[in-house]
Amino acid sequence: MLIVLASFLIPISVISTWAITTVTRTDKYVATMAPLARNPVIVDHLATKATDVLFSSNIVQDKVTAALPAKANSIVKPVEAQVRTYVHGLALRFFESEQFGKLWDGLNRHTHSAVVDILTGKQSALTKRVEQGGAIVLNLTPALDQIIDKANARGVTLFNPLKPLLEKSNSGLGFTVVSKDQVATYSGGFNLLVKLGWAVPVTALVLGLLSIAIAVRRRKTLRRLSIGVALFTTVLLAVLSLGRNVFLHQATVHNLDADLSAAVWDTLLRFLKADLRWMLLAALIVACFARVFGPARYAIWIRCHVAVAAHWVADQVRMLSGNAGQAAAESERARRVGGWIVEHLTGLRIVRVIGAGLFLVFLGSLTGWTLLVILIVVAVYLALLQLVAA
């Protein structure tokens, strides 16, 4: 019972620690959100949306119409399209600049406490400014003001009448971080983890140590605990993958761009997924060591061969350290290496396959090209082994 409870709570404690140290702490939250302002998908989306907001009224069309003679009304639309293209370029350069990155970080720092209140179900004066219809929306209207100022600096003064309208109304530029359904789906679990605080990691550690302390066979208990942690961690990684699909589906229901939601999900949870992968790797390593140091026949065989390999490496170092007989030593070393590869050919093939599997687990996002590269590397490795054996 202790092993099962500890195996379940240790991976959960990783999520609990992430919620406490990453989401609820302002500096860590700002650092977590920072890459979104540098994401090409989000930058292009904000530039297009900012341009749409600036051209949502007929100010540009009216000013162009007033500036041209009545007979030139046919070129009003082409002129407006050219102005729109120019303004979109200005907006794109602004959102790609370091200036916007600093503005983004400042807005996230200012609204962080409100975001935490919304995720934990609290209401305050600041949450009303961040929450719109149950969703968490970051107000980027100051970015519009700076784009208008940049247009003014280049002689395009068409958008000056929009400034007071943007400040008084809700028609400014906003970026939806999490939709209403997404908040409702994930805020309950987040709130529970925050309320439990450090009780989950401490309890998991105590249960794990207690299960080993009272066990008759501690090495075997440690191995079982490590395997249990690895299994539950794998399950949590799978749950996160399913949660990502739910997150994207809820975004499409609210007419949000799926690519934007994917960028938000992957950015917010990148530290959590990295911690879980390291937990999985550590659990597998501990389980392997606990197994290798056991009394099983193959464990003894592995230890003996490792000792033989260590002695062989030491002999090669001694042979190569002397000046005399280096050619003979190199020839002998090549012969022994080739013989060792032939003798352990099957094991080396298995090691390569296991390495490719671990690479896939810790890679994060898998594309067709990365899978093709992995397959090519595995094929070349196996071909080289066969060539050396021949």
pLDDT digits (tens, 9 = 90+) for 235-284: 998 888 888 888 888 777 767 777 888 888 888 888 888 888 888 888 88
End residue of a domain, out of 250, 269, 292: 292
Residue 227: CA atoms inside 13 Å, Cβ hemisphere, count? 10
Please report the pLDDT score of residue 232 as a whole number.
Answer: 92
Q: Provide the domain limits for residue 279.
A: 211-292
Of 237, 272, 292, the last residue of a domain is: 292
Same domain, 302 and 379: yes
pLDDT of residue 22: 80
Please check whether residue 69 lies inside any domain of the structure: no
Model confidence band, residue 292 (pLDDT cutoffs 50, 70, 90): confident
- At 260 the pLDDT is 82
Provide the domain count of the chain. Answer: 2
d(CA 102, CA 346): 55
Q: Is the pLDDT of residue 334 over 70?
A: no
Across 3-28, average pLDDT: 88
Q: How many CA atoms lie within 13 A of 371 on its CB side?
A: 4
Domain end call among 233, 262, 292: 292
153 falls within a domain: no
Q: Compute the average pLDDT of residues 359-373.
A: 61
Instruction: Please report which confidence band the pLDDT of residue 114 belongs to, taking 50, 70 and 90 as the band edges.
Output: confident
303 and 279 part of one domain: no
Q: For residue 164, with 0-12 CB atoms within 10 Å meaning exposed, 13-18 middle and 19 or more buried, which class applies?
A: exposed
pLDDT higher at 146 or 294: 146
Mean of per-residue pLDDT scores for the chain: 78
How would you list the strands of the sheet with 131-132, edge to edge? 131-132, 135-139, 174-178
Work out the average pLDDT over 138-152: 82
Q: Are residues 385 and 301 in the same domain?
A: yes
Average pLDDT over residues 366-370: 59
State the Cα–Cα distance between residues 187 and 237, nearest whole angstrom: 19
Torsions phi, psi for 256 (to 5 deg): -95, 155
Clarify whether residues 284 and 320 are in a common domain. Answer: no
Is 303 in the same domain as 361?
yes
Answer whether residue 355 shows pLDDT above 80: no
Give the separation between CA 66 and CA 68, rounded to whole angstroms.
6
User: Is the pLDDT score of 5 beyond 90?
Assistant: yes
**Tokens 């009545």 label which residue?**
70
- Which tokens in the block code for residue 130? 């961040």
Domain for residue 317, yes or no? yes
Q: How far apart are CA 24 and CA 39, in angstroms?
A: 23
Which one, of 99, 103, 90, 102, lies nearest residue 147 by Cα?
90
Segment among 90-99, 109-118, 268-277, 370-379 with least mean pLDDT: 370-379
| Pair (280, 363) in one structural domain | no
Query: Is there a domain that residue 170 lies in?
Result: no
Q: Please state, in angstroms and rounded to a whole number, the distance separating the CA atoms of residues 140 and 113.
A: 17
> 324: pLDDT confidence band, cut at 50, 70 and 90?
very low
Q: Is the four-CA dihedral 254, 259, 264, 265 of positive or negative sign?
A: positive
Quick one: pLDDT at residue 210?
Answer: 92
334 and 250 both lie in a single domain: no
Q: Is the domain of 306 the same as that of 374?
A: yes
Q: Is residue 264 part of a domain?
A: yes
Residues 311 and 370 in one domain: yes
Residue 334, exposed/middle/buried by CB under 10 A (0-12, 13-18, 19+)? Answer: exposed
Average pLDDT of the segment spanning 364-373: 61
Chain segment 29-79, per-residue pLDDT in tens: 888 888 888 888 888 988 888 888 887 777 767 776 776 676 666 776 787
Q: 367 with 312, same domain? A: yes
Residue 281 counted as domain residue: yes
Closest CA to 29 of 41, 21, 38: 21
